Amino acid sequence: MATPTPTTDLPQAMIEAMTPAADWVIVLPIVFGLMGAAALLTMRRSNSTPLLVALAVVFAIIACEVTLLLRVLADGPVSMTMGKWLPPFGISLTADIFSAAFALGAAVVTAIVLVYAEIDRGDAQEADTFHAMVLLLLAGVTGAFLTGDLFNLYVWFEVMLIASFGLIVFGGRPIQLDGAVKYGFLNFLATTFFLLALGLLYGLLGTVNMADIMRVAPAANPAAMAGVAALLLLAFGMKAAAFPVNAWLPASYHTPPASVSALFAGLLTKVGAYAMLRALVAVLPGSRDLLEPVMAMIAISTLVIGPLGAIAETNLRRAVGFIVIGGIGTIMAGLSMPSLLGVAGAGLYIFHALFTMTALYMIAGLVEKRTGATDSRQMGGLYAASGSISVIFLVLVLAAAGVPPFLGFWPKLLLLEAGFSQGATGPAPGTVGVVLVIALLVNAVLTLIAGARLWGHIFWRSGPIDAAPSDAPRLLAPLTGRGRVGYAATAVLTALIVVAGLWPEPVMQGARLAAGDIVDPARYVEAVGLAGETP
């Protein structure tokens, strides 16, 4: 070919200046997590205090993320692109308020669970890889929250998945292997569906950068895009355990030690919900509008079926798993009403669930340690023996159900407002909004019934179901040593939830601001550096 060599304008394709040092704060949390996991893995035989090393790494991550969150709150979204290629060619990490806040919440929860996990660990059990895998899980979750590239999101999903595989079989009891088979297959299937959707999206648009997709998606064939969005909804719905594809969660979350269940309940399903918020509401809003009836149906059925499962279940941690599923329904309800209030409610609920669902599993673990049973039929009479555990349990049940003044109430308030306003301003009478409001209230009542029933069975009645009223309750010895550490960790997390619930103004303001960037992503696109260009 004898065509003359075209002249190349390097600044159009490459980043020529160094990334400013301040922008590194967005990649450092992931780097710390991965490096910390690698270091703990190589030191696992020589290091006698893996907990302290892991905590130091997590606190470094928290410091970075606080800096990042303050910066995002002040200046809007921050973006950093890897490998000198300009976006959309290089892989961008992009943080807006929701992603930075969720990443910070995930790191705080991980720090508390790392301390709590001492309760499940014996004194002889030092040379293992538990802490390394927790750090790897945190790196995967943080990466998923902070990435601005859909294929990169897939990679972080898999990092998270392989770390969670290691944690769920940790200890290798037969019941864990049973749970892990179901957890492993269905979650791997979900990420394969995600990859399938990505392949089609790349074929249609030629890009996988989120900000770039926002620019070019409106010009693509709406029917084909709706198909991609439906596949994404299926994949993320499986990850988040929304109703028709939720069976893996109650089949597996109660099998590992309580600390691992707590970590999973806080982090994993919330990443699925966040991915739905990001990919469907922010990146592909046009296709989301087409899928809105489907999403509303999923939301309503998840809201009702989740707590009904909890009422029918006697295994304590399985019942908590169903309450987690009901919470996913609340997030789906927000995603079905993409107004500012609806998105703010969904985001704030994700933030609330990060803390509350983790704390619920932690207190369930403490109850199991005190009663020596996993089934609420075999529990009873714990109120007299340990009043503080019963108070924490009740507080967390009220927070999960969304009773004021606890943290769970505020996102539901935003969602109720969103539901009613959707009815008032829509072109058609907004029956969907009103039905969603009813489903949210039904969910709150059913969650309250399930939680109060568990509380009554575990704490209030005098003994197990088969015991005579005169028998002394069958309890194990009070918590000592490592048990008290776990108890203190649960109390600290619950105190955080109560304080945030009593003083909700900062998180409410933050959620409204963050929702503004999701509903109108102009600042997000501008931060990545793609504003103003014609596709």
Residues 203-222 that bind another protein (CB under 8 A): 203-204
Q: Using the rule CB under 8 A, which residue among 84, 121, 461, 482 binds another protein?
A: 461
Closer by beta carbon to another protein, 31 or else 251: 251
Let me know: does 26 contact 93? Beta carbons within 8 Å. Answer: yes
* Residue 312 in contact with another protein, rule: CB under 8 A: yes
Q: Using the rule CB under 8 A, which residue among 151, 224, 294, 434 binds another protein?
A: 151
Amino acid occupying residue 182? K
Q: Using the rule CB under 8 A, which residue among 77, 87, 184, 423 binds another protein?
A: 184
* Residue 445 in contact with another protein, rule: CB under 8 A: no
Distance of CA 389 to CAs 317, 367, 490, 528, Å? Answer: 16, 8, 9, 47
CB-count burial class (<10 Å; 0-12, 13-18, 19+) for 114: buried
* Residue 73 in contact with another protein, rule: CB under 8 A: no
Dist. CA 132–CA 164, nearest whole Å: 11
The nearest distance, CB 402 to another protein, in angstroms, is 21
Q: Using the rule CB under 8 A, which residue among 19, 67, 73, 165 binds another protein?
A: 165
State the CB neighbour count (10 A cutoff) for residue 477.
9
* Residue 12 in contact with another protein, rule: CB under 8 A: no
* Residue 179 in contact with another protein, rule: CB under 8 A: yes
Closer by beta carbon to another protein, 55 or else 220: 220
The nearest distance, CB 110 to another protein, in angstroms, is 22
Q: Using the rule CB under 8 A, which residue among 41, 53, 66, 195 binds another protein?
A: 195
Q: For residue 315, which of 385, 261, 241 has the smallest C-alpha distance? A: 261
Window of 126-134, 209-217, 308-316, 343-351 that interacts with another protein by CB under 8 A: 308-316
Find all residues with CB under 8 Å of 190, minimum gap 6, and list them.
234, 235, 236, 238, 239, 245
The DSSP annotation for 426-444 comes to SSS--HHHHHHHHHHHHHH
Q: Using the rule CB under 8 A, which residue among 22, 35, 38, 181 binds another protein?
A: 181
* Residue 175 in contact with another protein, rule: CB under 8 A: yes
HSE-CB of 487 using CA atoms within 13 angstroms: 17
Q: For residue 233, which of 328, 324, 320 has the smallest C-alpha distance? A: 328
Find all residues with CB under 8 Å of 124, minimum gap 6, and list them.
none
Dist. CA 12–CA 69, nearest whole Å: 30
Q: Using the rule CB under 8 A, which residue among 250, 266, 408, 430 binds another protein?
A: 250
Q: Using the rule CB under 8 A, which residue among 31, 73, 311, 394 binds another protein?
A: 311
The nearest distance, CB 223 to another protein, in angstroms, is 17
* Residue 532 in contact with another protein, rule: CB under 8 A: no
Find all residues with CB under 8 Å of 511, minimum gap 6, and list them.
344, 345, 347, 348, 351, 411, 414
Q: How far apart are the first and last CA of the chain?
A: 29
Residues that bind another protein (CB under 8 A): 1, 3, 5-6, 8, 10, 151, 154-155, 158, 161-162, 165, 169, 172, 174-175, 177-182, 184-185, 188-189, 192, 195-196, 198-200, 202-204, 250-252, 254-255, 311-314, 377, 452-453, 456-457, 460-461, 465
